[in-house]
Amino acid sequence: MFKTEPTVLKSILAVNLDVNIWSARRKLQPGDFVHSELPPEKLASLGSKRICNPSDLKVFSTLKARAVNVLDKSGVRFLGGWAIPEAKAAEIVNGLDLIAEEFKLAKDKFMKNYDQAVQNWIKDNPGWEKIIATSVVNADYVASRIAFNWQVFKVVNPTGRKKALLEAGLQSEVSNLGGTLFDEISKEARNAFNRSFMSKSMITRKALSPLKNIQQKLYDLSFVEPKVAPVASLIQSALDKIPGRGAISGTTLLMLNGLLTLLNDTSALATYAQEIIDGRSNNDSVLDALVKPDKAKEDTKPKKSEDKKQAKNPSSKLESYGLW
């Protein structure tokens, strides 16, 4: 259904995100159970105990999530990290730089207050002071386990006598890039539909942001697979049909609902993308079918005077996706 050619490596860079966040957990020891009762859930669970308030470390998880979002927005998962368009590398690295600086400031603040944070946690758990105090680790240890780094590198096809051996796994990863991209788009479309469109008779223009992000991601990665460009174009055509201002409802909302549901169906999406490439369909016919499926089917029925072998408009095969 999707196959990315090895030449795509010329246009991408690989990014590895390496973020370490201290868990603030230590293994429970037999001596910790001096009471007949178990420690409260906020303090201990699954054989471990917290020696610091987890809320003090939440900022690091938030920053890591932001970094993942920066990479997900323009990249596609690849080799345990992301493949990003080389043309977008400077913009992406700049975004990671800003997050890294925030991460450093947050780490400095946490380490400055570390000893006091531990003491506060001990006070917040009366009766369990000893099992916390006996497991406290020094600040240098904690600092070594909080870090934000990334690496950007170029992946090239191997050459030489061991070429076949070296490229076997790599070519499989490269070949799957297109499928991975459409799987990610499917997930983003499903989340957008569930979050902002489901059961709504009217939406604000803010709800269009996920769809615009999907379109931009596909545009940035249009070189990954031939079917990517027509899908990006289809989304742009839908966005162009939306009035310039005001809430969105009626047939326009129905079209967007259908588009998001279509984006969630990678098999159907691949079929329509290929038909657009082959010239057997176009953006307008697909979008019209999302709004007026019965009319699309009627318009594409061959008349008696027409050659029975005449190609039908592919929009006649468009499923309802639960919309009609």
52-76: pLDDT as tens digits: 999 999 999 999 999 999 999 999 9
Span 123-127, average pLDDT: 91
133 lies in the same domain as 247: no
Count of domains for the chain: 2
Residue 248, domain member (yes or no): yes
146 lies in the same domain as 240: no
218 lies in the same domain as 125: no
pLDDT tens digits along 25-50: 877 665 555 554 666 666 655 567 88
Burial class (CB in 10 A: 0-12, 13-18, 19+), 37: exposed
134 lies in the same domain as 36: yes
- H helices of the chain, in order, are 58-74, 89-112, 114-123, 129-133, 139-144, 163-175, 177-192, 209-220, 228-240, 250-264, 266-277, 283-291, 293-299
Q: What is the per-residue pLDDT for 127?
A: 86
24 lies in the same domain as 95: yes
pLDDT above 70: residue 305? no
Residue 11, domain member (yes or no): yes
149 lies in the same domain as 12: yes
Residue 230, domain member (yes or no): yes
140 lies in the same domain as 26: yes
184 lies in the same domain as 307: yes
Of the candidates 121, 153, 185, which is a domain's last residue?
A: 153
Q: What is the per-residue pLDDT for 26?
A: 76
Instruction: Please tell me the pTM assigned to this model.
Output: 0.81
Residue 1, domain member (yes or no): no
- The amino acid sitting at 35 is H
pLDDT above 50: residue 306? no
What is the rounded average pLDDT for all residues in the chain? 85
Of the candidates 153, 188, 223, which is a domain's last residue?
A: 153
Residue 186, domain member (yes or no): yes
Residue 298, domain member (yes or no): yes
**Are 220 and 88 contacting, i.e. CB atoms less than 8 angstroms apart?**
yes
Dump the DSSP string for 197-260: ITT-SEE-GGGGHHHHHHHHHHHHTTTS-TTHHHHHHHHHHHHHTS-SSS-EEHHHHHHHHHHH
Q: Say whether 285 sits in a helix, a strand or coil.
A: helix
194 lies in the same domain as 140: no
Residue 164, domain member (yes or no): no
Structural domain boundaries enclosing 197: 176-317
Q: What is the per-residue pLDDT for 42?
A: 63
Residue 161, domain member (yes or no): no
Q: What is the per-residue pLDDT for 172?
A: 85
pLDDT tens digits along 202-247: 999 999 999 999 999 999 999 999 999 999 999 999 999 998 888 9
313 lies in the same domain as 180: yes
84 lies in the same domain as 141: yes
142 lies in the same domain as 198: no
Choose between 115 and 29: higher pLDDT: 115
* Phi, then psi, of 26 in degrees rounded to 5: -135, 150
